[in-house]
A and B are shown apart, each in its own frame.
Chain A
Amino acid sequence: MDLNFTPEEEAFRQEVRDFFKENLPDDIRDAVRDGKELTKDIMERYHAILNKKGWLATIWPKEFGGPGWGPVERHIFEEEGARAHAPRIVPFGLSMLGPVLQKFGSKEQQDYYLPRILNGDDWWCQGYSEPGAGSDLASLKTRAVRDGDEWVINGQKTWTTLGQHADWIFCLCRTDPDVKQQEGISFILVDMSTPGVEVRPIKLIEGGHEVNEVFFTDVRVPYGNLVGEENKGWTIAKYLLTHERTGIAGVGFSMQELEEVKALAQRVMRNGKPLSQDPLFAARIAQAEIDLEAMKITNLRMLFTAQKQGAPGPETSILKIKGTVINQEFKDLRRRALGPNAAPFPGSLADTNLDVAPQGNANNAARYFNNRKTSIFGGSNEIQRNILTKTMLGL
């Protein structure tokens, strides 16, 4: 066994680090570091910077314009991005739809949509969940009926992340109501500017707007917007959800959180001493650090397997569960480190020259509350446990 990265991998890490140092604009870095809203403009500028370097579509193969990286390179890239306070790449076009089109799309669909994703011409969002279909996604009801060479879509999607910015939505629709649930679903692309599509904002617990409801009333789209075969959308849905799981542990982000909570604990005073010298708080940090250290290795072990076998297996559910819990613990620690000073509503003191938290930490409570989503979405941690129960335990 050898826990070291190869010299080539280390050289690659240095290259990525230098790249971020030289190319990540200060205002984007500050917005990420300070937990501010990442505007559409910020995300588009960031994507364009990566695209110019050829590093935007980190999981696409070279033939479609990806960098041709393996799991280890992607891992290094994510770690260095987190360290540099780079935003997360918006996943909908790049890590969700892109791979789907590459595997199931027609040549025409690939030629049209993929370059547009890279160039930022289209902002995509994901239309999977519905009010009645969350964990039980296959029970979805949004209906698409064929009418000549068009689909007519009626129904409602919800939790559509960043749908307010989106030009296109990829939807799971019921196209045959008379067969087993999983067998009558199709994967259809919808231009959001089509008449009958309505987007309504949902305000989240901490006051931000990142998710939406999307309503479809007699929305007509070309039949050719179907991806893959009619009624075989479930296979695509599953492929999209499980095919690419590197980064799911968010190790790079948690490493960054660890550094920040340690720095914060040195600046914040308790009982006349820096909080870092408070044994109870220090113990909490130490415990989270131990969990993170183990997570790093668990993550690398799974990357190693993925690299050998070509694809990660169901054990990545372990990464999702543990990775989100550890990250949530760091968010909790940062909030606690500030104590009452984490309490002001974000922006509440913006017009004053008073600050109650060291730089970059004023939003710590908001970040903690927002981050509770990570153990709910993308298949909740309970659903991940159900997957593990079946696949790894055979129960």
Chain B
Amino acid sequence: MNFDLTEDRQMLQDSLRRFLKDKYGIEHRNEVAYTAPFHDPAKWTELTELGALFALASEEAGGMGGTGFDISVVFEELGRALNPEPVLGALMASRLLAAAGADQEALLSGTKRYAVGLGELDAPYDLSQMTTTATDGKLSGRKSIVYGGQAADAFLIAAKSGDGLAIYEVAAADASVTGYALMDGAGAAEVVLENTPGTLILDNAEAAIADAVNAGIVGLCSEAVGAMDVLHAMTVDYLKQRKQFGRPIGTFQVLQHRAVDMLTEIEQSRSIVIKAAAELGGPDAARYASMAKNLIGRAGRLVAEEAIQMHGGIAMTWEYPGSHYGKRLIMIDAQLGDTDYHLSQVMAA
């Protein structure tokens, strides 16, 4: 048994952490995350030059990693820095392109930005209810809240084709794309397809889509763990610093115990994500991804709400970094299936 990071991953973690800390501080983050295009194209290039995206793909796919643990290392750092760059789309697109055996040099080197369109207005999580269709290489339908879609050069769109699902690549220029800001920073898009031309990448794509979703969940859950760590540390610091009634509020036992409850849930979160990362790509990947997403949904809410409450008014402000961590933690629950959705997946399996 060994829960240490390998040397390579340790190096990746260090360089990412340093880069994000030095060049992507919270003020810069807040500025770019809420101003169109809701990320920083120049910093995106720098991030990809560090090799962050190559870590998301296996050697066969042209990358240098691609396991659950590689994904986890990258996203945990993104979470710690509350980074708004569209890495989730790159990760999921990379999994889909790998399944198709397609070249992904442009994706991994960061020169072509991808977003993945799965969810729809009436079917945000459940792919079996999808209504977007593909006939003769033309797509029709609407993909809703496509994360990173506002900055994408290309979309990988899941569509009903014959009896099953297929993945098509659609150039952003060919679709009707409306980008917007998200509550928790970064951007998304509504992608409306009306007889829009697409290139078939993968037929019978159910298994590949499931794999991309599971990988995305490992990414999101790791991001949440990183964000929870930071928010918890901020909270404990605040409990030590903030004085009321002539003493640090951290001396009130009721707050101490709640800070410990947060810690307990964060450790549980870390553990379930490690498990989900370990199972990624294997036969039980979906089950453990669902377990992780359910637990993270619950823990994220607890950590966000408790952190805000224990900070008092200050955490209600835009200026205080903790508030943005709180928002991200809450909104992560709504990506790739929420707590209830994944609970029902675990119950059914």
Contacts and interface: CB of A to CB of B under 8 A. Distances in A.
Contacts of B245: 135-136, 139
B219 to A, nearest CB: 16
Among A270, A346, A368, find the residue whose CB has the most chain B CB atoms closer than 10 A: A270
Contacts of A88: none
Contact of B183 (A280, A345, A380): A345
Contact of B313 (A159, A269, A341): A159
Nearest to B183: A365
B181 A269 contact: no
Interface of B, helix, strand, loop or mixed by DSSP: mixed
Given A202-B317, A205-B318, A271-B129, A376 B312 contact: yes
Interface in B110-144: 119, 121-126, 128-129, 144
A117 interface: no
Contact of B124 (A204, A341, A344): A341
Given A134-B312, A204-B316, A205-B326, A345 B305 contact: no
B224 to A, nearest CB: 15
A372 B334 contact: no
Interface string A330-354: 0010011011111111101100101
B184 A343 contact: yes
B178 interface: yes
B319 A341 contact: no
A284 B181 CA distance: 29
A92 interface: no
B328 to A, nearest CB: 11
A204 B318 contact: yes
Contacts of B184: 343
A253 to B, nearest CB: 19
Interface residues of A, number: 53
A342 B317 contact: no
A281 interface: yes
Contacts of A342: 183, 334
Contacts of A269: 122-123, 129
A373 B316 contact: yes
A205 B304 CA distance: 12
Contact of B319 (A202, A271, A381): A202
Contact of A203 (B254, B317, B338): B317
B344 A129 contact: no
A280 B126 contact: no
B182 A345 contact: yes
Interface in B290-349: 301, 305, 308-309, 312-313, 315-319, 323, 326-327, 330-331, 333-335, 338, 340-341, 343-344
Given A129-B313, A202-B317, A203-B317, A339 B125 contact: yes
8 contacts: A136-B245, A202-B318, A203-B318, A205-B327, A270-B341, A343-B182, A356-B144, A373-B316
Given A332-B301, A381-B309, 4 more contacts: A271-B128, A280-B343, A339-B334, A345-B181
Interface of B: 34, 119, 121-126, 128-129, 144-145, 178, 180-184, 188, 190, 192, 243-246, 252, 254-255, 301, 305, 308-309, 312-313, 315-319, 323, 326-327, 330-331, 333-335, 338, 340-341, 343-344
Which 4 A-B pairs give the minimum distances between C-beta atoms?
A348-B180, A269-B122, A203-B318, A345-B181
